[in-house]
Amino acid sequence: MSLYYALVFAILVVEICIFSVLSLPIPSRIRKPMTLLLLKPFRLPTVQVAIKCILGFVLILFVDCITKVYNINRELNMGKNPNSNSAATSGGTVLSQNRIEVISRKFLAQRNMYLTGITLFLTFIVVRTYALVNQLLTLKDNYRAFDQKEETPETKEKREELLAQIAEKDKEIARLQEKATLLQKEM
C-alpha cells in the first residue's frame, strides 16, 4: 500500500473512532463535555481548511481509482495485454501470467477505490452525526432549563393574567353559544 493510501486508511480509522464515540449511548452529562472536547480542534478555521484540502485529495484519489478500475475492466474484457506484443505471446503460460498480473492490478485498484469511497462516505456520516448529537444535547438542555425553571413573582402574575383572560374568553364563548342556539330555534 502506498503512502497516500496508508494516510487515507489512517483517516478512515480516526473517523471510525469518532463515529463510535458519537454513537455510543452515554449519559448527557458525560456526552456533552466529551463531544465538545473531541471536536474542539475541528472548529478552528485553519484545521477546517486543512480538512477540506485533505477531503479534496481523497476525492481525487477516488476518481482516479474509478478510472483505473474502469480501464482494467475494459482491458480484461477486450482480452488484450498492454505489456506484451501479439508475437511475444506464443505460450499459454505467458498469457496466464499476464492475466494474473492484470487481475491483481484490478484487485488493488478496487481495494483503493473502496478505501477512498468509504472514507468520503464516513466523513459525511460523521459530520451529520455530530450535528444530530449537538442538536439533541441543545434540545435536552433547553428542556431541562424550561422544566427546572423556578417561578418568579412576575411569571406568577403573568400566569394569573392569562388564566383570567382564558376564563373571560370561556364566558364569552358560552354566551355566544347560547345566543347561537336561540337564533337557531327562531329559524
DSSP-H helix ranges across the chain: 3-23, 28-39, 45-78, 92-147, 153-186
Q: Name the pTM for this structure.
A: 0.65
The dihedral formed by the CA atoms of 56, 61, 64 and 66, expressed in degrees to the nearest 10: -100
- Encode the chain (187 residues) as per-residue pLDDT tens digits: 789 899 999 999 999 998 998 888 888 888 888 888 887 888 889 988 998 999 999 999 999 999 999 999 988 888 754 554 544 444 455 567 788 888 899 999 999 999 999 999 999 999 899 889 888 888 888 888 776 666 677 777 888 888 999 999 999 999 999 998 988 888 8
Q: Which long-range contacts (CB under 8 A, 24 or more apart) does 102-105 make?
A: 102/72, 102/75, 102/76, 103/76, 105/68, 105/72
Tell me the CB-side half-sphere exposure of residue 20, using CA atoms within 13 A. 6
